[in-house]
Structure 1
Amino acid sequence: MLFKFHLHRFRFFVAFVLGMALCGLLPKSAHAQLREDSAPAILLANLTPMPQHTDVHDEDYEDTQAKFQATYIWQRHGAFSERRPSTVNSANYSGAYPLYSLPKQQDKSYTATFTGYFGFRPWTGGELYLNPEVTQGVPFGGSLTGLGGFYNGEITRAAGSRPTIYRQRLFLRQTWNLGGGSEEVESDLNWMAGSVDKNRFVLTAGNFSVLDVFDKNRYAGDPRRQFMNWGNMNNVAFDYAADSRGWGWGAAGEWYQGDWVLRFGRMTGPKRPNELPTDFRIGKHYGDQLELEHDHEIAGRPGAIRATAWRNRANLASFRDAINYGNTVGWTPDATNGMEYILNVRNGERTKYGFGVNIDQEISDNLGVFLKGMWADGRTETYAFAEVDRSLATGVSISGAAWGRGNDTLGLSYLAHFLSKDRREYLEKGGISYFIGDGWLNYKPEQVMESYYSAKLNKALWVTADYQYVRNPAYNADRGPIHIVGVRFHAEF
């Protein structure tokens, strides 16, 4: 029988439902009010780790899961230079008219999260997961502005200095086995240990993140365990559909056949770009994803290449319309929106699309490399992620086994972020976008070099030192460079 219920698991089910009910009563994040009171901020997903497959049964089969994680990140940047042209009218970017620059004075930032991962198998092939989370944090300058690729994947949940509790995920994963031999799935966050066929179809449905399924990478994808910058977390030009926390409602299918995986899915987005309320009209406003992955070996070393295409449909402002509006009013502040003209021309449904690749390759037992790149059309404002229209990321991950610490990791990476012609012109003329806008723009690509060293102290605790060098922050060669240092404490139990 395909859906055979396991009656002995219902005591866990009761606890699961009580937890779900609690999450339904929890208050929404304070971030929902940040946009009204200050410069904008955004919240985004912490990603479900990639499933780890082995050929040997290492762990007992799990039919329930209760795991937890805690992460604290502290970061600091020093003062940096700014060469502000005398032609910039400061009155256009003061008082009621915000300026979305990263403050040039020395500053500190922190985030703290605590997450529960509860799951059980309600029937054969089915897995149901619930993730409640407590979070707090403060970004540089008190608001998430001033960069294309931000410095901390956890800052995406920075709802303020008071703890906020909310439901992070609630989703079903259903697997239909199709033969081809079996492989074991190791126990991890939102993955219960068990066995699956190498050929299979997997359906994920409910409340989760696009990045739980698409655009994943073995060496650069988890800001709690690996690199911290958004450009390493995923292809940062991937403007994937989500609310301002990074979550959505929808479904994704994955067809595994031999060395190939085909993924496709549709997710909800926000009612208004970059804000919290969800637009549940998934037949009208949505984000579609399509991805093809091929797993391979080079000289006996595993690797993977993924090609991703995506398309969003929503009520979005066109940068060309915003430029035309600015020309009409002489690039002077609007009484309501200041120089953020995209809010004045958000008056029609538009599509936004992009294409990208994501590659990881093992070179030796202790060395892996990765490469990511994405192109987005860049004609419309940011829907739900970052102010980046083209992106490139490459780097290496080195196991500490080379110096006698096999559970440590050293990572080195280089990132480059670019703007489309229309977004660049809008900012050069003095326009303000959702996350960036200095009032002027001496355009150069934003470049980031990030390095980290993660030391595993025991079975459950990691400590990481991180350094980021940011050149041309928010694509402005008249600002920076910025040096960001950070430390991360991460525990799983």
Structure 2
Amino acid sequence: MILKHFFILLCCLCSFSALAQKAGSDADQIASVDQEINGIPTEGIFLGLPANVHGQTTYINQRYKPFNSPYQGQNSLLPDKSMSYTWSGTLFFGARLTPNTDLYFNPEVVSGVPFSSLAGLGGFSNGEATRAQGAQAHFYSARAFLRQTVNLEGEQVELENEANQISQIVSSNRFVFTAGQFATLDIFDDSRYAKDPRVQFMNWGNMTYLAYDYAADSRGYGWGLAGEWYQDNWVFRASRMTTPATPNAQPINWHIFSAYGDQIEVERGHFIGDLPGKVSVLGYRNRMTMARFTDATNYVIANNAQGTQALVNVRNGMQIKTGIGINAEQALTKDLGVYMRAFTSDGHTETMSFAEADNSLSIGAGITGDRWGRPKDTIGVSTMLNGISSNRRAYLQAGGISNFVGDTPSPYAGPNQSLSYKPEQISEIYYSFLVTKGVLLAANYQHIINPAYNSARGPVNILSYRIHAEF
């Protein structure tokens, strides 16, 4: 059934591509595809406006064999042999309303079944799994936003035609404003080597900092306003985004002046010889109704509530959550680069939108296949170390569970076992193979020690394959 969905969408994408090419051909009567309108190269013309269309579809299949598990709880990774999959399809529509104003819209469809209903790991194994809600396909708007560019004096920079970017000549010194529905990670914490689970590493800890509790709904999107200031090799970014109505929920809280996620980032690019690199520092501050771990721990103990999500009983009033991290990457040769991410959050409150982690470290490398005559192939190797705060640890050890983790069984389900804490360690390696233009096939392996910070369970070995197609 999933492969049927995959090929149906692939056919749809090919049809859209053919229509786009025909539209571009018809538009030749008005303007050549290579013609410049107000100095801006265009991909095609739609209703008299420069426009483009792209698409992607991705299928990920993951499996693991039984692993050591002397006990398990409601939010444990199930120890039996398991299979998980996700499938997504996205169309990226763009139109240039004025020479410096773009409008983008991304309808998306997703289906899938994650491991253990998305429970039992800090660094979950599939970055697409946050959007999966079962085998039935779900359609929704992923992005719908305006982008305004204000060019200042500086060198000219060409932005190429790609998803959510109509080709454009901009200044190296400019302001860029984004408003509407988009993902916080569209703007912040970019990485050349570890960013997109559809084409690179799959684990959450390689999408971004695992301990970065960025504002988003349960699918990873939100509404807000972001500003970027490009000043030669410096970039300054800031945004305010909506929060979910309750932690890790789909409905949005629209009261953005009372409940919000703020972030700010400073990035500096550089060259060592002719090899690019960059360093960025990111901080965030969330404000919404969340539970404090100390309150939840007291509730578990006072009410003998082991094996329950006591957090929901102590969500009283607005709480503040903060964190800060650093991201560094450097090309060592033209086909080899390394990266490092490190982050820490204050750890006083529950997770708002992302992963169950309060500190995280990831180190890795990306390699292209130039040396063996496959320049479009890539290899990635990475290791991650994830930890939780003393407050979160005390809550789990007392017998509480949270959105994604909690190995303590209910008192009525057998022996009362609690967290045997150790940091979660994850190693990941993948090879992505170009089958033909626009189609990638990848194999991925993840080795997870101390899943969900519990040394009594695991290790877990996850094998995956991925098919990705785009135009």
Q: CA deviation at 1:299?
A: 2.7
Secondary structure at the counterpart of residue 322 of structure 1: helix
1:73 is aligned to 2:60: yes
1:237 is aligned to 2:206: no
User: Once superposed, which parts of structure 1, at least 4 consecutive aligned residues long, lie more than 4 Å away?
Assistant: none
Q: CA deviation at 1:344?
A: 0.8
Aligned to 2:305: 332
Q: CA deviation at 1:215?
A: 1.2
1:118 is aligned to 2:93: yes
Secondary structure at the counterpart of residue 141 of structure 2: strand
8 Å contact from structure 1 (residues 216, 358) kept in 2: no
> What amino acid maps onto 1:227 in structure 2?
F
Secondary structure at the counterpart of residue 381 of structure 1: coil
Q: CA deviation at 1:492?
A: 0.5
Aligned to 2:462: 484
How many residues matched? 419
> What amino acid maps onto 1:76 in structure 2?
R
Residue from 87, 96, 113 that aligns with 1:138: 113
* Aligned counterparts of 1:188 and 1:466: Cα–Cα separation in 2: 26
Q: Provide, for residues 9-43 of structure 1, a one-character-per-residue CA deviation record: whole Å limited to 9, x for no partner.
A: xxxxxx9xxxxxxxxxxxxxxxxxxxxxxxxxxxx
* Aligned counterparts of 2:121 and 2:102: Cα–Cα separation in 1: 38
Q: CA deviation at 1:140?
A: 1.3
* Aligned counterparts of 1:192 and 1:489: Cα–Cα separation in 2: 26
Q: Once structures 1 and 2 are overlaid, which stretch shifts more, 319-328 or 282-291?
A: 319-328
> What amino acid maps onto 1:116 in structure 2?
L
Q: CA deviation at 1:237?
A: 0.5
8 Å contact from structure 2 (residues 235, 267) kept in 1: yes
1:473 is aligned to 2:455: no
Aligned to 2:121: 147
* Aligned counterparts of 2:175 and 2:112: Cα–Cα separation in 1: 39
1:445 is aligned to 2:429: no
Aligned to 1:400: 369
8 Å contact from structure 2 (residues 243, 252) kept in 1: yes
* Aligned counterparts of 1:458 and 1:61: Cα–Cα separation in 2: 26
* Aligned counterparts of 2:366 and 2:407: Cα–Cα separation in 1: 35
Aligned to 2:277: 303
Secondary structure at the counterpart of residue 342 of structure 1: helix
Residue from 122, 125, 134 that aligns with 1:160: 134
* Aligned counterparts of 1:193 and 1:484: Cα–Cα separation in 2: 39
* Structure 2 residue ranges without an equivalent (≥5): 1-18, 20-39, 44-49, 409-417
Aligned to 1:18: none
TM-score (norm 1): 0.83
Aligned to 1:8: none
TM-score (norm 2): 0.87
Aligned to 1:384: 353
Q: Provide, for residues 428-485 of structure 1, a one-character-per-residue CA deviation record: whole Å limited to 9, x for no partner.
A: 1111111100001110000100000001111110000000000000000000000000
* Aligned counterparts of 1:397 and 1:227: Cα–Cα separation in 2: 10
Residue from 390, 397, 403 that aligns with 1:434: 403
8 Å contact from structure 1 (residues 273, 383) kept in 2: yes
Aligned to 2:150: 176
* Structure 1 residue ranges without an equivalent (≥5): 1-14, 16-58, 85-89, 94-98
Secondary structure at the counterpart of residue 224 of structure 1: coil
* Aligned counterparts of 1:285 and 1:134: Cα–Cα separation in 2: 28
Map 1:307-386 onto structure 2 (within 5 A).
307-329=281-303, 331-332=304-305, 339-386=308-355
Higher strand proportion: 2
8 Å contact from structure 1 (residues 396, 413) kept in 2: yes
* Aligned counterparts of 1:307 and 1:418: Cα–Cα separation in 2: 20
Secondary structure at the counterpart of residue 408 of structure 1: strand
8 Å contact from structure 2 (residues 343, 361) kept in 1: yes
Aligned to 2:180: 206
> What amino acid maps onto 2:80 in structure 1?
Q
Residue from 192, 216, 225 that aligns with 1:251: 225
Q: Provide, for residues 150-180 of structure 1, a one-character-per-residue CA deviation record: whole Å limited to 9, x for no partner.
A: 1011111111101111111100111011121
Sequence identity percentage: 49
* Aligned counterparts of 2:273 and 2:424: Cα–Cα separation in 1: 36
> What amino acid maps onto 1:117 in structure 2?
F
Aligned to 1:20: none
* Aligned counterparts of 1:219 and 1:362: Cα–Cα separation in 2: 10
8 Å contact from structure 2 (residues 42, 51) kept in 1: no
Aligned to 1:109: 84
Q: Provide, for residues 263-320 of structure 1, a one-character-per-residue CA deviation record: whole Å limited to 9, x for no partner.
A: 0010000111110110010000000000000001123211111100100000010000
8 Å contact from structure 1 (residues 199, 257) kept in 2: yes
Secondary structure at the counterpart of residue 370 of structure 1: strand
Q: CA deviation at 1:327?
A: 2.3
Secondary structure at the counterpart of residue 457 of structure 1: strand
Q: CA deviation at 1:186?
A: 1.3
> What amino acid maps onto 2:437 in structure 1?
K
* Aligned counterparts of 1:375 and 1:213: Cα–Cα separation in 2: 20
* Aligned counterparts of 1:479 and 1:187: Cα–Cα separation in 2: 47
> What amino acid maps onto 1:139 in structure 2?
P
8 Å contact from structure 2 (residues 381, 430) kept in 1: yes
* Aligned counterparts of 1:208 and 1:60: Cα–Cα separation in 2: 25
* Aligned counterparts of 1:251 and 1:190: Cα–Cα separation in 2: 17
* Aligned counterparts of 1:326 and 1:450: Cα–Cα separation in 2: 36
> What amino acid maps onto 1:430 in structure 2?
G
> What amino acid maps onto 1:332 in structure 2?
A
* Aligned counterparts of 1:316 and 1:140: Cα–Cα separation in 2: 26
* Aligned counterparts of 1:220 and 1:241: Cα–Cα separation in 2: 20
